[in-house]
Structure 1
Amino acid sequence: MTTFYIDPSPTNFQAFKDLPRDEPIHMLNLLRYRDEAEYPDGHEHAGKEWSGRRAYEEYGNTSGPIFRRVGGQIVWRGAFQTMVTGPEPDDKVWHDGFVAQYPNAGAFFEMIKDADYQLAVVNRTAALVDSRLMRFAPGEVGSGFG
């Protein structure tokens, strides 16, 4: 049985909250879109027959100003091509991925607590059939693997 993830579990979110909040973070995002976005009944975009990708674009348009206000920026973005190490491609195909950088974890919390962000995140939920969000401490960039 395949398990899908859109929102963090209470255990995972608590682990995130328990980490330091005053240091820079990178958030790796892996996205798998629905064929058709699934909005709640009565939502302004329900019935528009948007693709998941289109609903995620709306999420980016509506959450972007808040993301930038807290000091966030995208430091890497890519479109999935094939799995090299990992499950067979039919098992887990990611459509897009990106790394969001925040000046600190406190900025991430500020963003997700923002009332306008909470309205915008409905678009993310409607858009995705599966996702991963992983926190990393930024490391040094260079020419070696070590």
Structure 2
Amino acid sequence: MTPYIDPSRETFEAFKALPRDTPIQMLNLLLYRDQAQYPEAHEHAGKGWSGRRAYEEYGRTSGPIFARVGGSIVWRGTFETMVTGPAERHWHDGFVAHYPNAGAFFEMIKDPDYQQAVVNRTAALLDSRLMRFAPGEGGDTFG
């Protein structure tokens, strides 16, 4: 199975073509490496960090930028089992990040401090999914 860490040019262009002035929610599914894989010259290379530890560093270093653009985590959970889908596919963690609009997401990823922080994410992950949703209403039925 092909791992996905960063968007392809095609998928990122599709994301950029959607409205930028409406709230968005981003579903994140994470599968960590056993050992983080940093570039050789990076300050955390050789520390023996797990992928989970490297992702915690990503959260610590990107968190202030995420908060500054108005982001918040609206749900987070730890994977337990696949109910519908391939049995061999699993994730470690998942969460939904809310942004006031797509422009806030773009502001975050263009920030120079974020660009340094995201190295931790890349080092941490073996595979991931990132999906954009328009927020909807909750309720007590599936429809």
| TM norm structure 1 | 0.97
After superposition, residues 108-123 of structure 1 pair within 5 angstroms as: 108-123=105-120
Match of 1:142 in 2: 139
Q: CA RMSD in A?
A: 0.4
- Provide runs of 4+ in structure 1 moved above 4 Å: none
After superposition, residues 54-73 of structure 1 pair within 5 angstroms as: 54-73=53-72
**Unpaired runs of 5+ in structure 2?**
none
CA distance in structure 1 between the aligned counterparts of 2:47 and 2:121, rounded to whole angstroms: 15
CA distance in structure 2 between the aligned counterparts of 1:39 and 1:126, rounded to whole angstroms: 5
SS of 1:41's partner is: coil
After superposition, residues 44-123 of structure 1 pair within 5 angstroms as: 44-88=43-87, 91-123=88-120
SS of 1:97's partner is: strand
| Offset from partner CA, 1:78-130 (integer Å, 9 cap, x none) | 00000000001xx2110000000000000000000000000000000000000
- Count the aligned residue pairs: 143
SS of 2:26's partner is: strand
Letter in 2 for 1:86: G
**Unpaired runs of 5+ in structure 1?**
none
Letter in 2 for 1:14: E
